Amino acid sequence: MTKNIIKITAILGFAAISLSSCSKENPPLVYFPDMYYPVAYDPLMKAEDAYSTHENEIPAFVKNNGATGLGPVNGTVVHDKDAVADVAANERMTPDQYNAGYEESKAINASPLNPANQAKDIERGKGLYDKTCSACHGTGGDGQGPIVVSGAYAGVPKYADRQITVGSVHYVLTNGRNAMGSYAGQLTPGDRWRVAMYVMSAFKGGIAPAATTAAPAAAVSAPAASTSVTTSPQK
């Protein structure tokens, strides 16, 4: 008799637990509830936890009024702080499209950067040119950088002998030309303009004081396809 009472009690207890665990008012305890009840967070707003009233105590978030979207990490680089981002960022051009864009870029005689900062921009452009371009083009823009002098590479043009503008130099920096690859991955859009400004200032007698011609879309597009273009020299 005692055994039967124990069995009946166990059955009823198990049934009660099963029914209560299936109740919508009392959902079962789960591990990692955010996997079961996903919540979309706005990183600029205070996060509202759907399954807890616990306040977020991470110091960085507390200082940001609970928002989880933080500023850039110290030491990182903003890609387009000059607000001159390239148009058609993922465009891949045919040789005809590339050459047409290059010819259009020659009509650009001034950069879109603030003309009031031209002296500083050229100074920065010189530093970037010396670090990035002079190995081939030479510090004097004569195409006799140490890589060329070593005999490892040849055919780098002398700027003084070329018909170029600040727009065409920027175009080549952005898209590459012939054996020279694109530097869009190494230099920000603004810095490419600064290098182009320095090239014109140091090796071609100067640049226009202000951006008088709008840059066509083709002139500032992203790196071109690897198709060889053989009709014009490098920057």
Provide mean pLDDT across the span 175-203: 91
CA atoms within 13 A on the CB side of 171: 29
| 139 and 27 co-located in one domain | no
User: Per-residue confidence at 223, pLDDT binned at 50, 70, 90?
Assistant: very low
Residues 44 and 99 in one domain: no
Q: Which residues are within 8 A (CB) of 228 and not within 5 positions of it... i.e. 6 or more apart?
A: 95, 178
Neighbours of 126 (CB within 10 A): 19
What mean pLDDT is predicted for residues 9-37? 65
Residue 233 counted as domain residue: no
Q: State which residues form the domain around 210.
A: 95-220
Average pLDDT, the chain: 77
Looking at the 3D structure of the chain, how many domains does it have?
2
56 and 124 co-located in one domain: no
User: What's the whole-number mean pLDDT along residues 165-185?
Assistant: 91
Amino acid symbol at 224: A
Q: Which of 23, 44, 63 is the last residue of a domain?
A: 63
Answering whether pTM is above 0.85, one says no
Same domain, 124 and 197: yes
DSSP letters, 46-67, are B---TT--PPP--HHHHHTTTB
151 and 40 in a single domain? The answer is no
